[in-house]
Amino acid sequence: MLDGGLSPEEAIQADRNGRTGLMVACCHGFENVVALLSRCPFLDVNQQDKEGDTALMLAVQAGHLRLVNLLLTYYAGVDLERRDQRGFTALMKGALRDRSECVAALLMAGADLTAVDPAQGKTAAEWAVLTDSFHTVRRIRQLLRRPHAEQFSQHFRPEWPALPGLVAQAQAQAQAAPSFLERLQAIWSLPFLQSAPQEGGVLDHFVTVTTSLASPFLTTACHTLCPDQPPALGTRSPSVPELLAPASAQFCRASQAGPSCLALSEAQDGKEEKGGGGQMGPEPGEAGLDGTGSR
């Protein structure tokens, strides 16, 4: 076995397919390697192997959600609509293999849900239906009902929308006397626990509130660079290098506009020498020893 758990046979097969180190890491789930390769400025993240697969396609096909998020977040210029030799995009490949969470990550990153393959002319959602990818079909329908992540916007209001209606319904039921049939149903009905939280219910809202920008768990730990542009279905989200480039450029311009620390230090030393009444100023070593120096 080679480093990372890759056997020699798998390494030879990867070399025959024309795969780079990033492709092999995405195919086998080497998260540390993918994270380190994001710092390489000469790496082409959209390079394709002999079958036309990119690193993103291989990560989606294998179902490595963390690697998909790493590629979408820390690799600038990732082509979501790059196609393989059969004309399939990464979104279509994820739908064919029922990688529902990877499909959701691609859609929220800006993948085109209306794109069709050249052979059959079907979208990713249609391929998911044809291949019985039920989890992917359900996930796509959920995203279509709620295409905007409003909790990541500063305009999000943490109030539960269904609360006033439920309070009014409870008050009406408390004032009205239950009938004999309703009492009988309440006695003989058995409550069944749901395996998943109800969409739009109290647990769903609790998760939304605790992960929003208004949550005290996030306001003290992070600050978003795009407060007015929350993630949305079909909208391309910029990567971290693309977000940090304007911020770093602005910081450099601000630092160049102001006086440098060296200039301030020289000006301060000149004032001390002039205001010393003809006496020699302290030596650099003496200022550090007695603690009375101005540096």
- Domain harbouring 78, CATH code: 1.25.40.20
Domain assignment of residue 52, yes or no: yes
Is the entire prediction scored with pTM above 0.75? Answer: no
Is 108 part of any domain?
yes
Residue 194 lies inside a defined structural domain of this protein? no
Average pLDDT over the chain, rounded to whole?
Answer: 77
Nearest by Cα to 25 from 73, 60, 59: 59
Query: Which residue range forms the structural domain that includes residue 115?
Result: 8-147
Closest by CA to 33, choosing from 70, 80, 72, 78, is 70
Q: Is it the case that residue 220 has pLDDT exceeding 60?
A: yes
In a domain, 163, yes or no: no
Distance of CA 168 to the CA centre of its chain: 38
List of residues 6+ apart from 237 with CB closer than 8 A: 72, 108, 109, 110, 231
State the average pLDDT over residues 2-27. 66
Side-chain half-sphere exposure of 126, counting CA atoms within 13 A:
10
Residue 13 forms part of a structural domain: yes
* pLDDT band at residue 187 using 50, 70 and 90 as cut-offs: confident
Query: What pLDDT digit, counting tens, does each position of 91-146 carry?
Result: 999 999 999 999 999 998 989 999 999 999 999 999 999 999 999 999 999 889 88
- Counted domains in the chain: 1
pLDDT single digits (tens) 34-63? 999 988 888 899 999 999 999 999 999 999
Q: Which residue has the higher pLDDT, 253 or 15?
A: 253
In a domain, 190, yes or no: no
Longest dimension (CA), the chain: 106
Kindly state whether residue 86 falls inside one of the protein's structural domains: yes
Q: Mean pLDDT across the stretch 158-176?
A: 78
Residue 20 maps to a domain: yes
